[in-house]
Chains A and B, each alone.
Chain A
């Protein structure tokens, strides 16, 4: 048995260094370029004056529509795109954010919960939705008469869509296949999830900052339900148009990433 001279051993060829920088151009499967464009549109939307709802003091902002549909267009990456757009627009146009510098959190949560749900990461979507609802109830101000009703209207629907498997699957399938009829209610439900997360985060922040009591929240609840319903309906119309348009024009959207 001969022994090999260690100096004669040829070292194995080193594997070529793989440059993975292309992967760094994407976050949660969405291209950073698309997210930048979305953030830019978000900032531009902040400059569009809000649309007053007739008979009410409430306003429909184009931002609210974009937040509601962002989860379906960008998936979980919507949170990052919305946050980037939200931070810049909050600095440039602070009047759109009643929660001040923390206002970007509201649009981030809206995009995150709807995006996670659309990506079928429903456990995470449920966790974030429950954190949002929990943050409302942690405040002693929320233990007053009737304050439990405030998160109820849309958060209940959001939790149903997230937790009930047949409803969740039907919603996602109807949007992904772009069913001619069922896409509309499915987009409505998905917009409700996004908008619920946004408006509950806003309510929670405002409640922590300005200590508004039940005398404000409870009587104005029906009014806010009406305003939010109009926002969700407007988001549904825009959302369906955008999703169909993106698919027809073969433009990047999160549904493609899911198919891949």
Chain B
């Protein structure tokens, strides 16, 4: 099981309000889906990389993430290069193969569209970690509540996060106990051995955790969870001038992006 790095580095990004960051990153996500031209997506990737750099985050994280997406990135690139209906012929490989929809040559448009889709994948994948690596989790939850996410939903997320270390330690104990019973978690084992190990871990983990939920329920009831009173928070956050400035710029970029898209720019 991997451990979670919940530390946040000191940076200008960390000083921003959680809501500002959530809105800005959502706008980047919307824009990257709005455009399909490689130049536009490359510009967005540039913006994300500048934010990443200003947040003083390690580039190694991007490399680690990319390892997991390499297969899907290659699939996207290959499918678009070979099957995108382009006009500008670059390399002729064979005669047309209508059965598989292959025109027989690789086109410039196919390569550019494939690159655009891979860049889109990269932007999508590095936007979300940017948020968590620059925002302590309680602030993130506060931002969600302030953005009018229902409190009970935010509570589930916050509680889940705080219970995470306990669940992970439970899982480790169960793994040790099952190991004593001869169930191996060796990654080099056979498929069905691993499957059996997963079952042997999941069932007791779920049952044991549900037992703990009763204690949590009593604790919630004893603290009058859901009482009809105005809720107060230990932490509070306010928009600063920088937040307002960034929000204004973000909204301006979003509006510009939508107008450009309506006018037919940024589409491949």
Binding site for B on A (CB under 8 A): 19-25, 27, 31-37, 39-45, 47-49, 51-54, 57, 60, 62, 65-66, 73, 80-81, 83-85, 87-88, 90-95, 98, 100-101, 145, 209-216, 234, 237-238, 241-242, 245-246, 249, 251-253
Contacts and interface: CB of A to CB of B under 8 A. Distances in A.
B265 interface: no
B217 A31 contact: yes
Given A27-B152, A80-B153, A209-B33, A237 B129 contact: no
A34 B220 CA distance: 11
Interface stretch (B46-54, B222-230, B248-256): B222-230
Name the prevailing secondary structure of the B interface residues: helix
B57 interface: no
A210 B205 CA distance: 37
Interface stretch (B11-19, B159-167, B234-242): B159-167
A43 B210 contact: no
Contacts of A245: 203, 206-207
Given A92-B132, A211-B80, A21 B226 contact: yes
Nearest to B84: A213
Interface in B130-175: 131-132, 140, 152-153, 155-157, 159-161, 163-164, 166-168, 171
Given A24-B152, A37-B212, A94 B65 contact: yes
A234 B199 contact: yes
B220 A40 contact: no
A44 B171 contact: yes
Contacts of B207: 242, 245-246, 249, 251
A93 B125 CA distance: 10
B226 A210 contact: no
Question: 5 tightest CB-CB pairs across the interface, nearest first?
Answer: A24-B226, A95-B68, A100-B124, A39-B160, A36-B159
Contacts of A31: 213, 217
Interface in B179-219: 187, 191, 194-195, 198-199, 202-203, 205-207, 209-214, 216-217
B59 interface: no
A67 to B, nearest CB: 12
A54 B129 CA distance: 31
B199 A34 contact: no
A31 to B, nearest CB: 5
A210 B29 CA distance: 14
A230 to B, nearest CB: 8
B202 A101 contact: no
